[in-house]
Amino acid sequence: MRRSISLRLRVTLVCGVLLAVCCLLLTLSHNYYAYEMADAIEAIPLQPSLPTDTVESAPMEELALATLPARNTFRAQSLIAMAVIVAAGCLMVYWLTGKALSPLRHLDEQIRNRTAADLNQPLPVPSSGDEVAGLTVSFNQMSQNLSAAFEQQKRFSQSAAHELRTPLAILKTRIALFRKKGLCATPETARLLDVLEEQTNRLSDLVGDLLALTNLDELERSESIDVAQLLSRTAESLEELAREHRVSVHLETAPGIVPGNRTLLERAFFNLVENAIKYNRPDGVVTVRAACEDGEFRVEVADQGIGIPQEFREQIFEPFFRVDKSRSRQLGGAGLGLPLVRTVARLHGGRVWAEDAPDGGTRFVMTLPPEKQPL
């Protein structure tokens, strides 16, 4: 994307052009009237102060030629002075514009560092009473409205999830009791119970994901976490699923410590590796790499599946979005796993994205800031 010119530079350029035009007009008019005055002086006949028989009067043409170098010097000095004034004026405008826009830059830095967690904390309003102060007040009002909307949405999701958990738990208990009593008299009844149990488990997972998404920002994120150990434990917990899908998981992890919440990061890693197993090809490989690169800890989970089209690689991190809805439903996906991964990454000051894997398929990359070493 083409980089735009800053407001400070644009103001300087506009003022510089105006200053150059004004100085040029002044220089031209100054030179014009100076030449007119010189011509008028040269046209005045000179009266000799001595007798004409002792001094010869110089012709007017010779006098004009004698003043020509002075005229050229005057013109050159005028142009040089104009250039110096324009350059000095542009530098002064650039400096003054920077001073005038410093409150706006400060406001931009404050807005840039805002997150959904601190929207209810208003920015300090400058006492200048100018446009920047008005913009700060407007931003604070917008932040308060957004914070209220987010809080309302969060309360609704929490209430809905809690209300759904009880009937789902009762349903699962009834199905288990029905199976235990051996009431599956016909194959049709057994198939019906299988479908009910599958859908009930799917809804229970969906409710659990909703509760997790709404409560992420309330958890502490100050633990020192060994990423390699956490990834190894995640791979062990998914060994049974990998065997079912005939997929092998390879770990290539370097030691590294990141600050954060162990439960959240384990859930994020679990979702990434689980997706890589489910959406892999039979006899495929899931490669999990972790290493510190360019001042951040980088975790990669690559599969050998069919891949994700370029146009969907950002949408897959939106809640309930699925590229292949029928296959996701068949595999038990609810469309909240990757949104939860992105939320966890952002809460820890990191990022996550999808890209093409070297051996085909998709590679998910999560970056996390490493733990700062004490001085």
pLDDT at residue 375 is higher than 60: no
> Which of 45-59, 103-117, 160-174, 241-255 shows the highest mean pLDDT?
241-255
pLDDT tens string 308-324:
888 888 999 888 787 76
- Could you give the CA distance from residue 291 to residue 211 in angstroms, rounded to a whole number? 31
* DSSP secondary structure string for all residues of 261-286: -HHHHHHHHHHHHHHHHHTSPTT-EE
- Could you give the CA distance from residue 289 to residue 142 in angstroms, rounded to a whole number? 42
Share of the chain above pLDDT 90, in %: 19
Q: Which amino acid would we find at residue 1?
A: M
- Per-residue pLDDT band for 63 (boundaries 50, 70, 90) equals low
Q: Among the listed ranges 48-62, 90-104, 123-137, which one has the minimum average pLDDT value? A: 48-62
Q: Are 269 and 243 in contact (CB under 8 A)?
A: no
Q: b vs e for 286-304, b when ≥16 Cβ sit within 10 Å of the residue's Cβ?
A: bbbbbebeeeebbbbbbbb
- Per-residue pLDDT band for 62 (boundaries 50, 70, 90) equals low
Q: Among the listed ranges 62-76, 230-244, 353-367, which one has the minimum average pLDDT value? A: 62-76
pTM: 0.57
Q: Between β-strands 248-253 and 285-293, what pairing exists: parallel, antiparallel or unpaired?
A: parallel
Q: Between β-strands 296-302 and 362-368, what pairing exists: parallel, antiparallel or unpaired?
A: antiparallel
Q: Are 306 and 361 in contact (CB under 8 A)?
A: yes
- CA proximity to 232, closest of 213, 259, 250: 250
- Could you give the CA distance from residue 135 to residue 113 in angstroms, rounded to a whole number? 17
pLDDT tens string 98-151:
888 888 888 888 888 777 667 788 888 888 777 888 888 898 898 888 888 877
Q: Which amino acid would we find at residue 229?
A: Q
pLDDT tens string 149-172:
877 777 777 777 777 788 888 888
pLDDT at residue 50 is higher than 60: no
- Could you give the CA distance from residue 219 to residue 104 in angstroms, rounded to a whole number? 34
Q: Which amino acid would we find at residue 145?
A: N
The number of C-alpha atoms within 13 Å of 195 and in the hemisphere containing its C-beta is 6
Cα 74 to the center of its chain, rounded Å: 57
**Which CATH class name applies to 221-368?**
alpha beta
Mean pLDDT, the chain, as a whole number?
A: 81
Q: Which residue has the higher pLDDT, 341 or 331?
A: 341
